[in-house]
Structure 1
Amino acid sequence: MNIVAAAQEDYPEILAVWEASVRATHDFLTEDNIQFFKPLILKEYLPAVDLYCAKDETGRIHGFLGVAEQNIEMLFLAPESRGRGLGKLLVNFAVAELGSVRVDVNEQNPSAAGFYEHMGFTVVRRSSVDGQGQPFPLLHMELRK
């Protein structure tokens, strides 16, 4: 698996990975929520971060990572690629190569919070709503020194 900078041509496949990942892991989101976020992901969120893809030898994207200002803003894996060390690979890349020290995690996604805790992050505070003011509480986590 190679981690490479994403190009705009990768966006449709990245969006497909995002949607499949969200459907597999974010059971607190409704179909309306997913449809609300899709255009935002594509048109606003992807261009706003330093974006990297994990691609196999055929060029297929198995996961992606977005970082801004030392914050992991997004990390999503294709469902069939979970549990194979890819998330760890992407987080280690974010920390070692991009200087990431923070991540926000949906509180309603305990497996993600547990993953980041395993990777050395700890909860430093909680917000009752997400960045859009939606009722999806966030755990603000920082890498332990």
Structure 2
Amino acid sequence: MIWTPSHEAGDLKTLSFTVRPSSPSDTDRLVDIWRGAVDATHDFLDPGDRQAIETEVRAFFPTANFQVAVDSQDVPLGFMLLNDAHLEALFISPDRRGQGIGKLLMQRAMGAHEVLTVDVNEQNVHALGFYERLGFEITGRSSIDGQGRSYPLLHMQLASHHR
């Protein structure tokens, strides 16, 4: 699928991209995207936790089945990971934020599932706002993240009748 987003008046940028499955050769670029996105939006992370999480990410990424948004030269711009109807990851290169890549990836996920869930770090106000604009609602809260670290998560859900 090739997609060219519509832009606000005065925005002369044009971006076309396709979505494809990831391959192990994407790992370095996807880790770079993850790192840049986390550094731009997760300023609440303790530096030691941030490094530990990156080590976990680097070990996991080569075997993960991401959906990757790529430009016309097949350079990854962003990616998502679904586990059934739960969004495990959505990361967009910081220099590509606001260009419709995350929205398109989410539209693909929403089109594939009647109900879609996601967990968002409570302190990540950018992600929280993004999911709320798509129609997700908070359904619960955990005081720790999935690895037991003290970063509260908001559990969110989008049902098909909200689309």
Q: Hey, which bits of structure 1, 4+ residues long, moved more than 4 A?
A: none
Q: Matches of 1:74 and 1:134 in 2, distance apart? A: 17
Residue of structure 2 in register with 1:120 after alignment:
135
Relative to the length of structure 1, the TM-score reads 0.92
Question: In the comparison of the two structures, how many residue pairs are matched?
Answer: 144
Find 2:85's aligned residue among 64, 70, 86. 70
Question: 2: distance between equivalents of 1:46 and 1:119?
Answer: 29
SS state at 1:129 partner: coil
Per the TM alignment, residue 100 of structure 1 is displaced from its structure 2 partner at its CA by 6.1
Q: CA shift at 1:99, angstroms?
A: 5.9
Structure 1: distance between partners of 2:114 and 2:56:
26
Instruction: Give the corresponding residue for 1:26.
Output: 42
Give the whole-Å Cα distance in 2 for the aligned partners of 1:61 and 1:77: 9
Displacement of 1:39 in angstroms is: 2.0
Percent of residue pairs bearing the same amino acid type: 37
RMSD of aligned residue pairs (Cα, Å): 1.6
Matches within 5 A, 1:26-45: 26-44=42-60
Equivalent in the alignment of 2:31: 15
Cα distance in 1 for residues equivalent to 2:87 and 2:135: 14
Deviations 1:88-141 (A, max 9, x none): 111111111366600000000011111101111100000000001101000000
Select the residue among 145, 149, 152 that pairs with 1:134.
149
TM-score for the superposition, normalised by structure 2: 0.83
| Native 8 Å contact 2:21 2:68 kept in 1 | yes
Question: In 1, Cα distance between the equivalents of 2:114 and 2:80?
Answer: 13
| Structure 1: gaps spanning 5 or more residues | none
Query: In 1, distance between residues paired with 2:84 and 2:60?
Result: 16
